[in-house]
């Protein structure tokens, strides 16, 4: 079973691509979603978050206070590094356990979807990497529409990610997500290739 990573900058459409792979019954591990789940449910990780960021990091319902945490980490690069050092190892262990479960199901390959696949170093534990791309202006428009935010806010978020060109250079496969019909065609062909165990 091949372990495939899928990444791309904000607004490229990683999730859209993953949903299309799921139509071929390919299991997808959504790293960002699992990270949020782990921060709420992994007792060791919860304790470390409280230790570093204070008990206010969880709200009255004992759920992660994302607004509080976001205010801290997006204003201080060092705090962002702290959260990454806490969360990335937990996600790595969780994804490895998930991969073992999938291996029992006789699937040709799995996908691990993560925005910070290269930045976190988790690409090293995968067999191949897919990078989803799209023109920058289209990406900006998608995120503005999706998150109801300004162009400046999108550009600020983009600046925190590894530049798209650097991701493309490190990719084994590229998916150009401009229009859905073309993306579907590319994924159909790539699925055939990955099923051959390349």
Q: Specify whether domain 1-27+109-193 bears CATH 3.20.10.10.
A: no
Please tell me which residue, 87 or 73, carries the higher pLDDT value: 87
Conformation bin of residue 150: beta by default, left when phi > 0, alpha when psi is -120 to 50? beta
Average pLDDT of the chain is 94
Using the predicted structure, report yes or no on whether residue 76 has a pLDDT greater than 90.
no
Domain with CATH 3.40.50.300 in the chain: 1-27+109-193, 35-104
For 18, 41, 44, 58, 101, the CA distances from 104, given in Å and listed in that order, are 21, 25, 28, 36, 6
| Dihedral, 181, 168, 197, 185 alpha carbons, nearest 10 | 10
pLDDT digits (tens, 9 = 90+) for 16-63: 999 999 999 999 999 999 999 999 999 999 999 999 999 999 999 999
pLDDT digits (tens, 9 = 90+) for 175-193: 999 999 999 999 999 999 9
The angle at the Cα of 123, spanning 164 to 167, to the nearest 5 degrees, equals 10
- Annotation: CATH topology of 35-104: Rossmann fold (3.40.50)
pLDDT for 43 equals: 95
Rounded distance, CA 177 to CA 13, Å? 7
Please tell me which residue, 57 or 159, carries the higher pLDDT value: 57
pLDDT digits (tens, 9 = 90+) for 122-153: 899 999 999 999 999 999 999 999 999 999 98
Longest CA span, the chain: 50
pLDDT for 159 equals: 87
Least confident stretch, 5-19, 21-35, 71-85: 71-85
Instruction: Please report the sign of the dihedral spanned by the C-alpha atoms of residue 147, residue 149, residue 155, residue 161.
Output: negative
């Amino acid at each position: 079973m091949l372990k495939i990573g899928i990444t791309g900058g904000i607004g490229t459409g990683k999730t859209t691509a993953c949903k299309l792979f799921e139509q071929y019954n390919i299991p997808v591990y959504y790293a960002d979603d699992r990270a949020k789940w782990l921060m709420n449910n992994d007792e060791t990780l919860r304790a470390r978050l409280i230790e570093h960021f204070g008990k206010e990091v969880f709200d009255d319902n004992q759920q992660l206070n994302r607004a509080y945490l976001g205010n801290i980490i997006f204003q201080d690069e060092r705090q962002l590094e702290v959260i990454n050092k806490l969360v990335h190892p937990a996600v790595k262990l969780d994804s490895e356990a998930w991969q073992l479960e999938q291996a029992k199901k006789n699937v040709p390959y799995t996908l691990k979807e993560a925005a910070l696949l290269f930045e976190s170093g988790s690409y090293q534990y995968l067999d191949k990497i897919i990078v989803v791309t799209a023109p920058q202006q289209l990406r900006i428009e998608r995120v503005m529409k999706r998150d109801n935010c300004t162009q400046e806010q999108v550009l600020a978020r983009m600046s925190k990610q590894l530049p798209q060109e650097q991701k493309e250079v490190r990719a084994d496969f590229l998916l150009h997500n401009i229009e859905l019909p073309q993306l579907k065609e590319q994924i159909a062909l790539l699925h055939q290739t990955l099923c051959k165990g390349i």
